[in-house]
């Protein structure tokens, strides 16, 4: 076929697209099947269920003691106790036993007084000092469930608790709605199957197929049945044949074509849907997720799901998930919402509703939100997110400090127990986050990497609990002290050393460009990757360049910036740069060479306001532990001789 690019001619807003979808597809709620009660947990009842027997189905003792007829005990008191004949007036029994005929009360064994027999030939006698009232300590027949009563209505989702009620009511199998079958086709010539992959064989341009597994799990979470098919190359006829077979067979209720929904020359989802049926929507004014295609083939909904993972997730949650719930007669679950304040201005594109992933934490009296990377291909922006900010299409962004609502992706309790760290990136923060989680005390660490100066400014704005910094004072060689005095003059803080670390030039394995030091960065054939302005690494670099009399403009790539040491290392590994200034641990992690420049001090700057709080004290206890220090040392290029020590206040 002729390869032509798709064009988004009539994009719809999210609300318009959802309305079209819900109106067009009623989703069949009549299909049902019968399963055993234990197998029904999580399933949705297709019909109301009525009890077949009562529970209990007999009068049962609710206590250990004696069963009596209540009226035989009237008049008993401490002054005038009554004697009862065992086997005639009273009957021993245990909890759960059937009540003997003509009895209607139980007297607890603790209140029964054994009496001596008047003669060996006479029955055993017991005394009581208080009367019983009718049905005292008795579970009457049908106390819990009465035969024929409604146990659960249709569309009720069966929980583990329900199993007990159903079985007790004489129900051993139940009619449940059939799970909507969602057929998933991953497409793309670049995809490789992780099941047949050796990582060393992964070539540039190849992508490990993961979206189908993510969406299949989400289908199951909604209550549907996922039918994940094998990946297909970008062959429109092959994709068309596979979709046609699924749409006209009896197995598919919903069809997802992953990839090929965008405007590229090899994006065939729209073409396939148009050939087989009708395209209802191509393009929705949301970000991520704009390229979504929604159509119908043989009266079945068919979706062109964008290939970027975050786009795929957003499109599924906004369109596919609601259809599954509708087919099951279930309301869509709602996420908990809280009011949050962005830690900085969040610009957004006018005319597009943005789903912005954020980290959250309570700092002072408010929950603050720090944005994560916005790229639709950044799956970690979802896995690390605490919540979603939905920036409306009519806004160009959110002002710093302005309150807005966030949809929570995690329990609010977890957010309340999150330590918000902002500042310089260091690999040991990942270890610290893991150690805090492993401690089992409910404390989490959320770190955002904006550079050392960015961390101090975050403390100044009151939007974090601590900042990581390694700011070199070029006058006296000290770290952080003068910067705290200058930028936080009115905010009392504590400085706690996290590590000393070796900083230097990260270069390719074998150092093919024969780089010896900072002075070589000015060579025309060396491509440099820099850290962002305000980072301690950038300050160190500029200081050394000034010492050497090198103009930054003379360094090829000086203007290219990354926000973490690992990102610098990746740039060198991928050969987009020949060198970058970073920590030895980052070079070691990616098997790169390292040219030492300086050993620097990395501190945690903690406002006095939070220093004595339980989460911060747990954090300090964690970094002072031998286990943490040993893990840090194993990274390489770190020194822990002062880790956890409190430096004098500046």
* CATH code of the domain in which 161 resides: 3.90.105.10
In degrees rounded to 5, what are phi and psi of residue 593? Answer: -85, 160
Enter the tokens of residue 567: 């990102």
Q: Which of 327, 355, 380 is where one domain is finished?
A: 327
| 52 and 172 share one domain | yes
Which residues, other chains included, contact 555 with Cβ-Cβ below 8 Å and sequence gap of 6+? 521, 522, 526, 528, 545
φ/ψ of 49, rounded to 5, equals -120, 125
The answer on 634 and 513 residing in a single domain is: yes
Statement to judge: residues 220 and 346 lie in one domain? no
Q: Can you tell me whether residue 130 is helix, strand or coil? A: coil
My answer on whether 155 and 186 are in the same domain is no
Q: How far is residue 507's CA from residue 575's CA, in Å, rounded to a whole number?
A: 10
Same domain? 382 vs 474: no
Q: Which residue, of 270, 302, 327, is where some domain finishes?
A: 327
CATH number of the domain encompassing residue 392: 2.40.340.10
Residue 445: how many CA atoms within 13 Å on its side-chain side?
26
Torsional sign, CA 304, 306, 312, 317: negative
Same domain for 165 and 185, yes or no, is no
Tell whether 438 is covered by a domain.
Answer: no
Q: How many CB atoms lie within 10 A of CB 217?
A: 11
Query: What local confidence, expressed as pLDDT, does residue 29 receive?
Result: 73
In the prediction, which pLDDT does 265 show?
Answer: 46
Residue 117: per-residue pLDDT? 78
Question: 548 with 587, same domain?
Answer: yes
Tokens at 261, concatenated: 């929904």
Residue 526 falls inside a structural domain: yes
Quick one: 536 and 626 in the same domain? yes
| Confidence at residue 31, expressed as pLDDT on a 0 to 100 scale | 86
446 lies in a domain?
no
Kindly state whether residue 435 falls inside one of the protein's structural domains.
no
145 in helix, strand or coil? strand
d(CA 533, CA 450): 9
The count of structural domains within the chain is 5
Same domain, 511 and 639: yes
User: Using omega within 30 degrees of 0 as the cis cutoff, is the peptide bond preceding 288 cis?
Assistant: yes
Question: Hey, what are 18's tokens?
Answer: 């959802």
Nearest alpha-carbon partner for 283 in 263, 309, 254, 259: 263
Residue with tokens 């054994």: 114
* Residue that finishes a domain, picked among 362, 392, 416: 416
Q: Is residue 576 part of a domain?
A: yes
CATH of the domain at 124: 2.170.190.11
Report yes or no on 332 lying in a domain.
no
Q: What is the pLDDT of residue 344?
A: 86
Q: Write the CATH number for 550.
A: 3.40.190.10
Q: Which of 114, 110, 108, 109 is nearest to 127 (CA)?
A: 114
Residue 423 covered by a domain: no
Q: Which of 540, 578, 574, 584 is nearest to 557 (CA)?
A: 578
Nearest-angstrom CA–CA distance, 470 and 478: 10
Structural domain containing residue 323:
14-28+180-327
251 close to 224: Cβ distance less than 8 angstroms? no
* Residue 618 and residue 518 share a domain: yes
Extract the residue ranges of the chain whose pLDDT is less than 70. Answer: 1-9, 261-267, 648-650
Residue 210 sits in the same domain as residue 295: yes
The contacts of residue 49 (CB under 8 Å, 6+ apart) are: 150, 151, 152, 166, 171, 174
pTM, whole model, 2 decimals? 0.86
Residue 271 belongs to a domain: yes
Six token digits for residue 429? 């923060």
Q: How far is CA 306 from the centre of its chain?
A: 21
Tell me: do 316 and 233 sit in the same domain. Answer: yes
């Amino acid at each position: 076929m002729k390869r032509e690019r798709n064009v988004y001619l009539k994009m719809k807003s999210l609300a318009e697209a959802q309305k079209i979808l819900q109106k067009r597809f009623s989703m069949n709620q009549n299909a049902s099947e019968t399963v055993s009660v234990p197998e029904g947990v999580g399933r949705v009842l297709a019909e109301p269920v009525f009890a077949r027997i009562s529970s209990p189905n007999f009068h049962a003792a609710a206590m250990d003691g004696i069963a009596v007829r209540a009226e035989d005990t009237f008049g008993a008191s401490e002054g005038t106790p009554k004697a009862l004949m065992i086997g005639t007036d009273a009957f021993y029994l245990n909890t759960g036993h059937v009540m003997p005929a003509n009895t209607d009360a139980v007297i607890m064994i603790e209140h029964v007084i054994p009496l001596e027999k008047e003669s060996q030939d006479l029955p055993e006698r017991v005394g009581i000092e208080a009367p019983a009232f009718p049905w005292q300590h008795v579970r009457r027949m049908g106390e819990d469930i009465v035969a024929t009563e409604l146990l659960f209505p249709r569309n009720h989702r069966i929980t583990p608790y329900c199993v007990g009620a159903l079985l007790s009511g004489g129900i051993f199998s139940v009619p449940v709605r059939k799970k909507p079958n969602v057929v998933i086709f991953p497409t793309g010539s670049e995809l490789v199957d992780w099941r047949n992959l050796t990582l060393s064989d992964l070539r540039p341009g190849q992508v490990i197929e993961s979206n189908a597994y993510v969406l299949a799990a989400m289908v199951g979470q909604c209550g549907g049945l996922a039918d994940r098919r094998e990946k297909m190359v970008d062959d429109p006829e092959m994709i068309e044949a596979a979709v046609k077979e699924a749409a006209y067979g009896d197995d598919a209720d919903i069809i997802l074509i992953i990839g090929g929904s965008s405007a590229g020359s090899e994006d065939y989802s729209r073409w396939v849907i148009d050939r087989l049926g009708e395209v209802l929507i191509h393009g929705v004014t949301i970000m991520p997720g704009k390229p979504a295609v929604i159509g119908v083939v043989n009266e079945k909904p068919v979706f062109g799901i964008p290939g970027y993972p975050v786009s795929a997730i957003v499109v599924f949650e906004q369109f596919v998930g609601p259809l599954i719930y509708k087919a099951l007669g279930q309301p869509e679950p709602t996420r908990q919402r809280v009011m949050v304040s962005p830690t900085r201005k969040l610009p957004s594109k006018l005319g597009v509703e943005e789903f912005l992933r954020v980290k959250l934490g309570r700092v002072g009296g408010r929950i603050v939100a720090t944005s994560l990377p916005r790229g639709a291909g950044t799956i970690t922006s979802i896995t690390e997110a605490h919540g979603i900010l939905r920036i409306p299409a009519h806004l160009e962004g959110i002002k710093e400090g302005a309150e807005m609502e966030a949809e929570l992706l995690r329990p609010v309790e977890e957010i309340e127990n999150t330590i918000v760290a902002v500042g310089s990136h260091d690999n040991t923060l990942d270890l610290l986050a893991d150690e805090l989680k492993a401690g089992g005390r409910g404390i989490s660490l959320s770190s955002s990497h904006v550079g050392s100066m960015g961390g101090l400014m975050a403390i100044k704005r009151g939007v974090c609990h601590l900042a990581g910094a390694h700011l070199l004072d070029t006058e006296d060689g000290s770290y952080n002290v003068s910067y705290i005095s200058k930028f936080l003059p009115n905010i009392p803080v504590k400085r706690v050393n996290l590590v000393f670390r070796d900083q230097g030039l990260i270069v390719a394995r074998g150092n093919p460009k024969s780089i010896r030091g900072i002075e070589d960065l000015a060579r025309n054939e060396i491509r440099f990757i820099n850290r962002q302005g305000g980072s301690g690494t950038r300050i160190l670099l500029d200081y050394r360049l000034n010492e050497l009399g090198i103009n930054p403009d003379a360094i090829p790539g000086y203007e290219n910036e990354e926000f973490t040491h690992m990102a610098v290392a990746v740039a060198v590994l991928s050969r987009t740069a020949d060198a970058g200034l970073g920590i030895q641990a980052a070079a070691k992690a990616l098997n790169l060479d390292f040219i030492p420049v300086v050993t620097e001090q990395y501190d945690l700057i903690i406002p006095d306001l939070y220093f004595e709080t339980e989460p911060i004290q747990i954090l300090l206890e964690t970094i002072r532990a031998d286990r943490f220090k040993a893990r840090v040392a194993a990274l390489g290029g770190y020194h822990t001789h002062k880790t956890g020590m409190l430096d004098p206040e500046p």
